[in-house]
Amino acid sequence: MTYKHQIIPEGSLRITEIIYKCNDRWHVRDAKLSYQHPSDYISVRNPPSSMPVYKLFLDLYYDDFGTFRNVYHSLGGVYIQFGNMPTHQRKLIKNHFVLGFIPFGGNFNEFMVPFVSEIKKFEKGKIMTVQGQDAWVIAGLGLVTADLPQGNDMAGVLRYFSI
């Protein structure tokens, strides 16, 4: 029996479960556990009505570089910039801000703990003085960029000599 032109009334179908295969086994999970956009679960306090609102998109960049001419000891530099600046301004070196340095043998995740803690507070919004006037400022980490070795380290990809 074929159902080529079966008409299904709008609103009669609802996805309640998701079936997926992991490690050669089939699993079923509730559709409520699917990915949610941050706007679905982050609650933002409303700013006072008379205050200007500034929303900042932060771009974080991580790169290692050598510190001595003859002997290589890497030092990790972590920088941020405002991603919602016009492109020609983002390219200017004066608009790149040093967050800090990770010494040879240091841990990127440990270094980032205080920064992530502050960003979580900023995501909810806070009152700050901007050009002598109180303003409601909301900021969030929108993008993380790194050179290939550092990006692989952040993502947990093993190096070639780890086999």
Tens of pLDDT, residue by residue over 64-118, are: 877 676 666 778 889 999 988 898 998 899 999 999 998 888 888 899 999 999 9
Q: What is residue 129's predicted lDDT score, i.e. its pLDDT?
A: 93
DSSP one-letter string for 147-162:
-HHHHHHHHTPPPGGG
Tens of pLDDT, residue by residue over 21-51, are: 877 889 888 887 776 666 666 666 777 778 8
Tens of pLDDT, residue by residue over 120-133, are: 988 888 899 999 99
- Interatomic CA distance for residues 155 and 61, integer angstroms: 14
Q: What is residue 12's predicted lDDT score, i.e. its pLDDT?
A: 79
pTM of the predicted protein model: 0.62
- Interatomic CA distance for residues 10 and 14, integer angstroms: 10
- Interatomic CA distance for residues 44 and 31, integer angstroms: 25
- Interatomic CA distance for residues 44 and 26, integer angstroms: 38
| Boundaries of every domain in the chain | 45-162
